[in-house]
Amino acid sequence: MAGNTFGTLFKLTTFGESHGEAIGGIIDGCPAGLKIDYNAITAEMQRRKPGQSAIVTQRKEPDTVAFYSGIFEGTTTGTPIGFIIKNTNQKSKDYTHIKDTYRPSHADYTYDKKYGIRDYRGGGRSSARETACRVVAGAIAKQLIKEINITAYVSSVGTLELDKHYSELNFSEIENNLVRTADTSMAKQMEAYIKEIRKEGNTVGGTITCVIQNMPTGLGEPVFDKLHAQLGKAMLSINAVKGFEYGSGFAGTKMKGSEHNDLFNENGSTKTNLSGGVQGGISNGEDIYCNIAFKPVATIMQKQQTITKDGELTTMQGKGRHDPCVVPRAVPIVEAMAALVIADFWLLNKLSKL
C-alpha cells in the first residue's frame, strides 16, 4: 500500500534512507530448496555499486550484504529472507545548504508536501541508494528462474545511439566496457562523451534495452496484470526513468496491421516478433525486449536558481560525487527488476491450470 513492496508471490519489501545507518529488505515467498550462489549476488552488487569505474560517481560504498534469515546451510528454507546493507558513506557533514532549499528536479519539494517532514541528508528514501536492495533480491530471483536469460545493456547515451537490433549484438561485450553497451566502438564514443559531460559539471540521459530470452509460454496474467504492464511498472519505478516501450513500441504506432502482425511458423514461433514476446499480456515463448528511458541526473555542478522552504528565490550548486550519466550503473538494476517480475509470474503460472 505504502509503496515499499514489489511483487505478489515473490515479494520484496525494502526500507532505508541514503544517510541512515543501513538499508535492507525482506524477500518473502521464495520457495524452499533453492541453493544460493552468494558469489553471483556479490557480482551483481559490484555492477551497481558506486566508485566502480572512471565514468560513475566516485563515492565509495562497499555494499556488503548480510543475510539474517531464510537461508540455512546455503539453501532457502521457505521462510522470509531478511538482509541488511550498512551505509558506510554517511559522514556527518554539513547539510545546511540543502536542509531548507529544494534541489530542482529532485524529490525534496514533493516529500515535504506529502509528509511535512524530510530526512534532508541527501536524497533520503528517494535516493537511488535504495536500488541496492532491488539488486540483492533480483540476484536471488535470477537464480530461481535460472533457465531464463535476462540481459540489459546501454543502447544510447544522449544522442549517441546503438542502431542495431539486439539480435545483431554480441552480449558478451557488455561487461567489457565501462558504459555497459554491446558494441566496442560505440562504447568508446559513449565513454568519451560521458567524461566530457562530467568536465562540464553537467549530466546526460540515455536508454537501456533489456532482453529476456529462453522464456517459457504462459507467464503473465491477463487484463490488469499483463506481463508487459507489470514489467513497465517495474522499470518506471526505477529512479530517473521517464518511459518504457516493448516490442515495436512507439515505432509500432506508425505501422499498419499487415506489417505489424507476427505470422506464425509451424512450431508456434513467429516470423517477426514485433509483439516483443507477449500476446494479450501472456508470454508466447519468443524473446521479450524493451527500452527504458532515463533522464539526465538532476544534480549538476552548475549554479541553478531555486527556492527555499519559505518560497524565497536563491541559487544552489551540486556538491560532492555524482554520476554524470546514470545508465551504466542502472543496467544491473533493470535486470533485477526484470528478474523480480518474471520470477513472480513464473510462480503464479504454476497455478494457472489443473
Please, which residue, 16 or 50, has the CB nearer to a copy of itself? 16
Residue 197 binds to a copy of itself (criterion: CB under 8 A):
yes
DSSP-derived 3-state class of residue 130: helix
Q: Any binding-site annotation on 22?
A: no
Q: Any binding-site annotation on 187?
A: no
Residue 91 binds to a copy of itself (criterion: CB under 8 A):
no
Q: Are 74 and 36 a contacting pair, CB within 8 Å?
A: yes
Contact residue for a copy of itself among 47, 118, 129, 180 (CB under 8 A): 118
Residue 218 binds to a copy of itself (criterion: CB under 8 A):
yes
Closest listed residue to residue 148, CA positions, set 354, 328, 340: 340
Task: Please classify residue 322 by burial: count the beta carbons closer than 10 Å to its beta carbon, then call 0-12 exposed, 13-18 middle and 19+ buried.
Answer: buried
Q: Any binding-site annotation on 202?
A: no
Phi-psi sector, 7: left (phi>0), alpha (psi -120 to 50), beta: left
Q: Among 39-47, 52-60, 170-178, 236-244, which window interacts with a copy of itself (CB under 8 A)?
A: 236-244
Min separation Cβ 181 and a copy of itself, Å: 14
User: What single-letter DSSP state applies at residue 350?
Assistant: T
Q: Any binding-site annotation on 297?
A: yes
Binding mask 285-324 for a copy of itself (x = CB under 8 A): x-----x-xxxxxxxx-x-xxxx---xxx-----------
Q: Any binding-site annotation on 5?
A: no
Closest listed residue to residue 277, CA positions, set 328, 311, 226, 243: 226
Residues numbered 133 to 192 that lie near a copy of itself (CB under 8 A) are 156, 158-159
Min separation Cβ 40 and a copy of itself, Å: 17
Task: Report the C-alpha gap between 230 and 8 in whole angstroms.
Answer: 11
Q: Among 40-48, 52-60, 164-172, 218-226, which window interacts with a copy of itself (CB under 8 A)?
A: 218-226
DSSP string, 101-113: BPPTTSSHHHHHH
